[in-house]
Structure 1
Amino acid sequence: MMHTFTNTEFTRSMKKSHTIYMPEMLHYHNELLCAAFAFGGYKLAVVPEQEHICYETQSLVNKDYCTCAIGIIGNLLTFVKSDDCDREHIAFLEPQAGGACRAGNYYNLIIECLHKLGYGQIPVLSLNAHGLEQHSGFRINGRMLLGAIAAVCYSDLLMDLTQQIRPYEKNAGETEGLRQQWLQRLTEEIRHGRHLFYRKKVYREIVESFGRIPVDRGQAKKKVGVVGEIYIKCSPVGNRHLEDYLQKNGCDYRMGGFVNYCIYVVYSEMKSLELGHQSRLEAAGYQKVLQFLYYVQKEIAEALEQAGFLHDRSFQELIAEKKDILSDYYNIGDGWLMTAEIIDLIKKGYDKILVVHPFGCLISHVGGRGVLKALHERFPEAKITSIEYDYDQSDTLRESRVLLAIE
């Protein structure tokens, strides 16, 4: 008989007494997203990276789940069992984009794992756009949403500048040091609701400050683009600190920003609803959100372009790039976005592409590997390599594959 575990309610009183922990998924965005939640009245933190996951993980998480499940839930359970965790005053937040992905089951799986380990008193929250799994003490309010939009925009800009300058900096650590300075300033501004609407002036300040970092562009660097499943691509826990490894091996590396992914999620929802005969009101609502996100993306691009830096191509241009390879309706998981990002990176001169994805993710296998033949035919000069991440894979094996891909 299947046992159903009851989730503990996150009450209104817990808003002041509890810290909500989310997985380490967006390395460049974590600090500012935490500030956005603080502006909305919640204490948000990131689950600290654990050196080894607890042995119970593999007995509680079915091996049919993908590497992401082992990484996210294993890290979480190990933290809960540690002496650093105040188990009576925490909750967990699991982001859920929906769609045909087993990540949609993580929410219930985390609840089950916590109960089996004896920590059923810890509430588990779901961050989704559909109003599912509601708690009386947790709501995505307007302040939080405004703060989150600003957080993602600022973080994307800082990420883009960091990745373009750090490989060429004359003084090691200067780029990261400046990024940290900006994070401290922007954290305080978002926490107090400043510069959430009119960001252009701050964008210019950020770009100008990074532009003053001394660089040596004469250095020969391997040009490496990174695409793939969002957790493995953006989380150093998921990709085993891939950026550090590429930096150590003399690479100029780049990945697409999170704003593009957000637009893709909204666009995919709209396209899926088209198949179900969406109403005119729904269609107009999605178009309005998309137009706003297009404008947000354009502001970031203009700030970078005016200073001579590369920037993500507009979402509309990405749609056009992949037209003859994948349909707009292939929007399962990271769907066609990954293909469009590969094309964009190659056209920017990144001729070595790492397609990173988790072991056990059928969506990534189809979308990530299924398009490789068409891409190789269009760009025979580019080296496009699929890199699979398994939870018990040795560092040596994985790094050797990466090294072969970037040579």
Structure 2
Amino acid sequence: MVKFHPTANNDIVGILENEGAEAVVPDLLDFFFYSAFDADFKAKYLAGSKLSKNLCNMAISYIETYRKTMKKQLEKSVRFSKPKHIKELAGMASPILSLGNQTGEGWFLTAEMIELIESGTSNIVCLQPFACLPNHVTGKGMIKALKERYPKSNIVAIDYDPGASNVNQLNRIKLMLSVAFKNLGDELKYHKKQNESIVEQQFHNEAGLTLEDNI
């Protein structure tokens, strides 16, 4: 609810857009895929049954058929990418934490952040509802590991408790955005310098060819 409902997150999407950012919100269906996929780990390492594992895998395959057409169209897009399969997300998260972290959003929260970073969304606001303990482990607790793996990532954890200060939340969001815009400016300067170097090199090459032709 805190991720999607504007009342629960003080309209964070509107705040980000008003500050000039583009908000990227992960979809809701993947959470249900994550809940079903957990049966695989439980069957292998815990007391879960193979029957439950097979039923959950069948449910995932069945629901994925409804996304088949959407994925095909997104593959043709130059601006958007198709959502990853839950097995891909699990493979992305498993080198950083155990898939046995299944309380709350568990390992899926880390997988979502990795997916965002690898897809180009390196600036992430990790919302923590009601002093959520699992989020402190697999969300806020993974920020250091993610930054070591992705040095350009810009992740900030914000508490959305009933007693949390709106001003403090807004300040942390603005701090994250200031770092994001600085990184974007540095990246644009780098690409501009690279393009100027390429143009200059091409000019020298063309000048050299012209001189040789004249000789």
TM superposition score normalised by structure 2: 0.75
The residue that corresponds to 1:252 in the other structure is 22
The residue that corresponds to 2:136 in the other structure is 365
The alpha-carbon deviation at position 341 of structure 1 amounts to 1.0
Separation (CA, whole Å) in 2 of partners of 1:310 and 1:376 = 23
* SS of residue in 1 equivalent to 2:116: helix
Is 1:395 matched up with 2:166? yes
Separation (CA, whole Å) in 2 of partners of 1:302 and 1:250 = 31
State the number of aligned residues: 176
The residue that corresponds to 1:236 in the other structure is 6
Is 1:294 matched up with 2:61? no
Preserved contact between residue 294 and residue 315 of structure 1 (Cα < 8 Å): no
User: Amino acid of the residue matched to residue 392 of structure 1?
Assistant: G
User: Amino acid of the residue matched to residue 369 of structure 1?
Assistant: K
TM superposition score normalised by structure 1: 0.41
User: Residues 53-72 of structure 1 correspond to what in structure 2 (within 5 A)?
Assistant: none
Is 1:381 matched up with 2:152? yes
The alpha-carbon deviation at position 251 of structure 1 amounts to 0.6
User: Amino acid of the residue matched to residue 397 of structure 1?
Assistant: N
Q: Which has the larger radius of gyration?
A: 2
Preserved contact between residue 259 and residue 297 of structure 1 (Cα < 8 Å): no
The alpha-carbon deviation at position 387 of structure 1 amounts to 1.1
Match for residue 108 of structure 2 among 326, 337, 355: 337
Which ranges in structure 2 are unaligned for 5 or more consecutive residues?
A: 179-215
Q: Which of 329-338 and 306-315 deviates more?
A: 306-315
User: Amino acid of the residue matched to residue 257 of structure 1?
Assistant: D
Separation (CA, whole Å) in 2 of partners of 1:312 and 1:360 = 29
Deviations along 1:247-277, whole A, 9 cap, x unmatched? 1010112121112111011112453355114
The residue that corresponds to 1:272 in the other structure is 42
Relative to structure 1, is the Cα distance of residues 237 and 288 closer, same or farther in structure 2, using a 3 angstrom cutoff? Answer: same
The alpha-carbon deviation at position 406 of structure 1 amounts to 1.6
User: Residues 118-267 of structure 1 correspond to what in structure 2 (within 5 A)?
Assistant: 231-267=1-37
Higher relative contact order, structure no. (Cα contacts within 8 Å, ≥ 6 residues apart): 1
User: Amino acid of the residue matched to residue 56 of structure 2?
Assistant: Y
Match for residue 304 of structure 1 among 49, 53, 74: 74
* SS of residue in 1 equivalent to 2:104: coil
Relative to structure 1, is the Cα distance of residues 316 and 277 closer, same or farther in structure 2, using a 3 angstrom cutoff? Answer: closer
The alpha-carbon deviation at position 385 of structure 1 amounts to 1.0
Relative to structure 1, is the Cα distance of residues 256 and 298 closer, same or farther in structure 2, using a 3 angstrom cutoff? Answer: farther
* SS of residue in 2 equivalent to 1:374: helix
Which ranges in structure 1 are unaligned for 5 or more consecutive residues?
A: 1-230
The residue that corresponds to 1:320 in the other structure is 91
Deviations along 1:134-180, whole A, 9 cap, x unmatched? xxxxxxxxxxxxxxxxxxxxxxxxxxxxxxxxxxxxxxxxxxxxxxx
User: Amino acid of the residue matched to residue 322 of structure 1?
Assistant: A
Relative to structure 1, is the Cα distance of residues 317 and 273 closer, same or farther in structure 2, using a 3 angstrom cutoff? Answer: closer
Preserved contact between residue 301 and residue 311 of structure 1 (Cα < 8 Å): yes
Q: Which of 266-275 and 244-253 deviates more?
A: 266-275
Preserved contact between residue 126 and residue 156 of structure 2 (Cα < 8 Å): yes
